[in-house]
Each structure stands twice: as C-alpha cells, then as structure tokens.
Amino acid sequence: MQFTYAAAANDTTNGVALGAAGKDVLVYKLIIGLPVASGNVKLYSKAVAFSTDTSNIAFKTTLPSTITYQYAYPVVREWDFGPKGLQLDGGNLMVDQAMQVTVIWDYVEKQ
C-alpha cells in the first residue's frame, strides 16, 4: 500500500503525482483530516495535471460552504472506493486549500 499526503493547497503547483504516467494505480481511500469550507479535492486519471485542467478528472468533491468549527457539523471526511479501488493512469491529487488530505493507493500490478 502507498500513501500520499498533501498538507496544504497544491493546485497552483499542479498537484502531486501518485504514480508515473502510463503506470496504472488503484485509489482505495481519500481522507480529509481538516475539512475547510468550500474546499475542492480532485483526483486526475493522469500523473501530470495543471491548475486549470478540466480533462481526465476521475473524482472531484467540493466541501460545503457551511462548515464551521464553532458548532458540531457532520461533513464527509472520507471516501472509500471499495476493494477494487478507483483505477487511474498514474493519478494526480490536486487540493485548493490546506485540508490535510491523504490518499491510500497502490500500483495495479501489485494486486
């Protein structure tokens, strides 16, 4: 199992690659450690993505704008892609705010 962590926003630096281009990966879980109001998280089915890229987005979520830490507010912090995972070509994680995002993944060939 592989783990990729993005503590801060990385969309202006074109995200972080999970695997290499042309080498398929399986994403099993995405976890947000610190949900931020209106934060966006994207997983691309390519290893190299650019900040304004709209092609090959395999998964995108936008957190609610109503998140507040003054009151308990239930917010989805974890996405489970099941035992077969979400297959991506290399994969790229792009986050637009400091949300402490962890991706649990592995190479297809290891499965």
Give the per-residue pLDDT at 68: 65
Give the per-residue pLDDT at 70: 54
Give the per-residue pLDDT at 73: 58
Give the per-residue pLDDT at 12: 93
Residue 46 CA from chain centroid, whole number: 13
pTM score: 0.90
Give the per-residue pLDDT at 110: 82
Domains in the chain with CATH codes:
2-110 (2.60.120)
- Closest listed residue to residue 60, CA positions, set 87, 37, 40: 40
pLDDT averaged over consecutive 10-residue blocks of the chain (111 residues)?
A: 96 94 96 91 96 94 77 74 97 96 94 70
User: CA angle at residue 85 from 62 to 9, to 5 degrees?
Assistant: 35
